[in-house]
Structure 1
Amino acid sequence: MTQATAASTTTIALLHLAPRPGEIEANRGALEQAVRRAAAHGARLIVTPELAVSGYGFRDLIGTDWIAAGQPALFAWAGALARESKASLVLGTPEADPEDGKLFNSMVLFAPDGSVVGRHRKVNALRVGSESWSTPGDRTSVFTIEGIGRLGFFVCADMYSPRLVDETAVQGVDLLLSSAAWAPGLHGPNGEWERASAKTGRPVLVCNRTGKDVLDFDEAQSVAAVDGAIAFSHASPEPRIALVDWTTNTHRLTNWRITGAA
């Protein structure tokens, strides 16, 4: 008789924050507090919203020259934060390619040792308005994170595209993960997360944001979509941390709870 494989559970933290457009130092301070708080609750994967470092509408306030100039220091800071928290950290930030200088709306993955082990550059980047500074990425991204499995990465509207969902899923994923700055309303989310979970048969976790920026995000939701339906969700005008447990061998999300971000 063989014993059943013991369940392995890891806590994931979604930092439902309120990045201020153009206020880099204030945003970094809020991120530091939230990451430390999430780590104190046992999180081993910590995810930030889209453009958590800069806020969404930063370009018209501070331009873009700071992105490349400040990137080495920013990545060193984020790597140190990952080492301190002993967690994998997914940071939503503008990113400059060191070879050609192109700018991207990115999710950058830092390992618990502080190294950069992956990045996803938003494919469905808007070419007008507040995102006109960014170059669209040209590929899907799947990374293996210890204790969790293979994760497909999306930035906000990437999840809108069935093609990107399909191209990610065929690489063999256990979980789909999205950083977002997606407010409700006329162009708000309309079943994309539920559809992706139903089509792939894998849960979808979305780290959205709150606060005022170029849009009002106070009612924007961070969610877990499972089997075509929203299983958990959170929205609040105040920054919060959503914690959820992930069981690797059964691919289940359970025990959703909310705590303060500072």
Structure 2
Amino acid sequence: MTDAIAASTRTIALLHLAPRPGEIAANRHSIEQGARQAAARDARLVVTPELAVSGYGFRDLIGTGWIAEGQADLFAWAGALARDIGATLVLGTPEATSDALFNSMIVFAPDGRLTGRHRKINALRVGSESWSTPGDRPTVIAVDGIGRVGFFVCADMYSPRLVDETAAQGIDLLLSSAAWAPGLHGPSGEWERASSTTGRPVLVCNRTGCDALDFDAACSVAAVSGAIAFSHAFPQPGLALVDWAPDARRLANWRVETVPRA
């Protein structure tokens, strides 16, 4: 990386956490720990995994009534956290409207405002995700200091059409939160393909730990030009940091730190 590019880089933090199903307070504590650790490394964008607030298999343990009941408090907490760390926070959480529940990424700006959301489109209608309603549109959000970001949740990357429709809105970077374990239905080239067809880097914030599945070998990755450029998988929760040069649309200098378990 040249000196000019290095001077204009922004650090992006992927919180490779181990959310516990149904343990909302513990998961919030883990997110806050990771976000503050990321801020100490000058991260400008902090991303959490899919359903980081609730864990993946929460429904059978605590139901879904808490989602709407606690949403105002949750969003107030997340906004305050984003403001405290001075960074954009992408929160993976169940989301409630007056008539539906969604598997969402909620975006909070550095001043604490809720500035956008992406609702998982390729949501499973059986098993651990059967509580959620599929989203109905691609999402691109302008993120302070980062650029125009296309948002995906996990299996949304299965769909070349969704990738194309997102890219058509004009993007600098593709970003996915995930709870995507390797195995029979695990990732199989979707991230690499998206980086190749769009000509833009793909960052994936995956998770670890045991939930409805064993996620210990699940990878958080950066895909560039059709190949995996960086990857991290480890049973211990971690903080993956990567430098992003917005003007050059280039990722570099991947490094990982451990994060204490909640």
Q: Which residue does the alignment assign to 1:15? A: 15
CA contact (8 A) 1:19 1:55 kept: yes
Matching residue's letter, 1:108? I
Residue 251 of structure 2 aligns to a residue in which SS? strand
Note if contact 2:5-2:248 (Cα within 8 Å) is conserved in structure 1.
no
Which aligned pairs between 1:35-46 and structure 2 lie closer than 5 A?
35-46=35-46
1:159-204 Cα distance to aligned partner (Å, 9 max, x none): 1100100000011100000000000000000000000000000000
Displacement after TM superposition at 1:254 (Å): 0.4
Q: 1:229 to 1:61 in 2, by over 3 A?
A: same
Q: Quote the residue 1:117 is aligned against.
A: 115
Distance in 2 between the 1:5 and 1:44 partners?
16
Which residue pairs with 1:73 in the alignment? 73
Which 4+ runs in 1 deviate beyond 2 A?
4-7
Residue 235 (structure 1) aligns with = 233
Q: Which residue of 2 aligns with 1:166?
A: 164
Q: Which amino acid aligns with 1:26?
A: A
Give the whole-Å Cα distance in 2 for the aligned partners of 1:146 and 1:133.
33
**Structure 1 pair 260/5, CA: closer, same or farther in 2 (3 Å)?**
closer
Alignment of 1:105-254 (within 5 A): 105-254=103-252
Q: Residues 67 and 5 of structure 1: is their aligned pair in 2 closer, same or farther, counting only changes over 3 Å?
A: closer
User: How far off its partner does 1:31 sit?
Assistant: 0.7
Identity among equivalent pairs (%): 76
Looking at structure 2, the residues matched to 181 and 101 of structure 1 have their Cα atoms a distance apart, in angstroms, of: 25
TM-score, normalised via structure 2 length: 0.97
SS state of the match for residue 33, structure 1? helix
* Residue type at the aligned position of 1:164: L
Shift of 1:87: 0.2
Query: Normalising by structure 1, what TM-score?
Result: 0.97
CA deviation vs aligned residue, 1:31-69 (integer Å, no higher than 9, x gap): 111100000011010000000000000000000000000
- TM-fit CA distance, 1:261: 1.7
Query: Per the alignment, in what secondary structure is the counterpart of residue 144 of structure 1?
Result: strand
In the alignment, which residue of structure 2 is the partner of 1:52? 52
Offset of 1:101 from its aligned partner?
Answer: 2.8
CA distance in 1, matches of 2:242, 2:6: 19
- TM-aligned CA deviation for residue 260 of structure 1: 1.9
Q: Tell me the secondary structure at the aligned position of residue 61 of structure 2.
A: helix
- Going from structure 1 to structure 2, the CA distance change for 1:5 and 1:93 (only over 3 Å counts) comes to closer
Unaligned runs of 5+ in 2: none
Distance 1:233 1:175 in 2: 17
1:84 alignment partner AA = D
SS at match of 1:206: strand
Is there any run of 5+ residues in structure 1 with no aligned partner, and where?
Answer: none
Q: Distance in 2 between matches of 1:5 and 1:202?
A: 17
Aligned residues: 257
CA distance in 2, matches of 1:79, 1:68: 17
SS at structure 2 position matched to 1:74: helix
The equivalent of 1:82 in structure 2 is 82
The secondary structure found in structure 2 opposite 1:52 is: coil
The alpha carbon displacement at 1:8 in A equals: 1.5
How far off its partner does 1:7 sit? Answer: 5.0
Q: 2:258 & 2:99 partners in 1: Cα distance?
A: 37
**Deviations 1:87-115 (Å, cap 9, x if unpaired)?**
00000000001xx3310000000000111
Q: Which amino acid aligns with 1:19?
A: P
Conserved 8 A contact 1:7-1:248: no
The answer to whether the 8 A contact 2:175-2:203 is kept is: yes
Given that 1:224 and 1:231 are in contact with CA atoms closer than 8 Å, whether structure 2 keeps it comes out as: yes
What is the match of residue 93 of structure 2?
93
